[in-house]
Amino acid sequence: MEGDDFTGDIRILGIETSCDETAAAIVADGCFVLSNVIFSQIDVHRVFGGVVPEIAARNHVGKIDRVVQMALDEAGIGLADISAVAVTHGPGLVGALLVGVNFAKGLAFGANLPLIGVNHLEGHIASVYLENAGFSPPFMTLIASGGHSHLVYVKDFTEFEILGKTVDDAAGEAFDKVARSLNLPYPGGVEIDRLAKAGCAKSINFPRSRLGDSLNFSFSGLKSAVLNFLNSAKMKGEDISPANIAASFQEAVVEILVEKSLRACNLKDCGRLAVVGGVACNSRLRALLAEKCAEAGIALHIPKPVYCTDNAAMIAAAGFHRFKSGDFADSSLNAVPGLRI
């Protein structure tokens, strides 16, 4: 994007309710974050060990209007200062998505504002533009979240080529399931990250599923290997070290994510890698990426943690580029749980 595009004139209200975060944000020109309000339902779902879709939807209903008002207040503007309303319409939990989509529709049509439907994955990719003025395609992206593990070549702001994705569990899902087997609270990724710091990553050689030369990922074999390790130790009455298991498991996931991301960059002769999604918060992933990208001469871009996990600023940023290409939705916009990019 050219420097003169940053006038601060186009302000997008982003709304995100695809899973268990009720979020609203105002972003100017696709990169300047004027407000970023996130109401996390984690405490509500933790007692169940994971997100309960019906409860997530009900909590979105109870919070969405307040969260949107807070985003406007924090930015110090009113609806009259907004250029468009962008909302996640998939992929995600249908009941949760419907709350955001219907709220956005009502708001947009009531205030006579354009409406933009945003793909949640496109939102994650756009998180790399936040507070990163001037950063623009082409670049390679690894999306590693609770629901997805994708390698996407971003050709242009709204043009994507998927090079690989998980054939079973997403990286974050594997973190959460292994954490659960170690009796760690939900969401488990951050808990494994913390526990792994006290363990030795070389203590257990868990399998790495490379799937040959493919850029697809598979984490369910690794997850099963951890469960088998735990069951076998239990049957033999052996003591286990949760920290060593966490560190060794994390190392296996991180190694594969880094290896395939660099291979994808190589394949496309691309010197820039963005890493986004909740798993991009992982400290070992950040460290190994920094090391390997420096060795390979690849510029690494990882948004700050608050923009890696689900938020609405990334939805507003993606919405900005749809706005610029005139890609507006009408009142038929619907939630699409399996939406692809």
Cα 166–chain centre separation: 15
The reply on whether position 20 binds Zn ion by CB under 5 A is no
The one of Zn ion, ligand KG4, none whose footprint includes residue 175, by CB under 5 to 8 A per kind, is ligand KG4
List for the chain the helix, strand, coil content (%; round to 5). Answer: 45, 20, 35
The one of ligand KG4, Zn ion, none whose footprint includes residue 30, by CB under 5 to 8 A per kind, is none
Residues in CB range of 234: below 8 A, 6 or more apart: none
Nearer to ligand KG4, 122 or 176 (CB): 176
Angstrom CA distances, 319 to 16, 75, 104, 123, stand at 12, 18, 13, 8
Q: How many residues bind Zn ion (CB under 5 A)?
A: 2
Contact 126, 196 (CB under 8 A): no
The reply on whether position 141 binds ligand KG4 by CB under 6 A is no
Residues 209-228 that bind ligand KG4 (CB under 6 A): none
Q: C-alpha angle 149/315/282, rounded to 5°?
A: 40
What is the spatial distance between Cα 225 and Cα 227, in angstroms, rounded to a whole number?
5
**Among residues 137, 164, 187, 242, which is the contact residue for ligand KG4, using CB under 6 A?**
187
Neighbours of 149 (CB within 10 A): 30
Residues 120-159 that bind Zn ion (CB under 5 A): 145
The reply on whether position 16 binds Zn ion by CB under 5 A is no
Residues 270-309 that bind ligand KG4 (CB under 6 A): 277-279, 281-282, 309
The reply on whether position 310 binds Zn ion by CB under 5 A is yes
The reply on whether position 14 binds ligand KG4 by CB under 6 A is no
**Among residues 160, 175, 206, 219, which is the contact residue for ligand KG4, using CB under 6 A?**
175
What is the spatial distance between Cα 140 and Cα 298, in angstroms, rounded to a whole number?
10
The window from 9-17, 181-189, 208-216, 225-233 that contacts ligand KG4 (CB under 6 A) reads: 181-189
Angle between helices 171-181 and 220-235 (to 10 degrees): 10
Could you list the residues that contact ligand KG4 (CB under 6 A)? Answer: 19, 145-147, 172, 175-176, 187-190, 193, 277-279, 281-282, 309-310
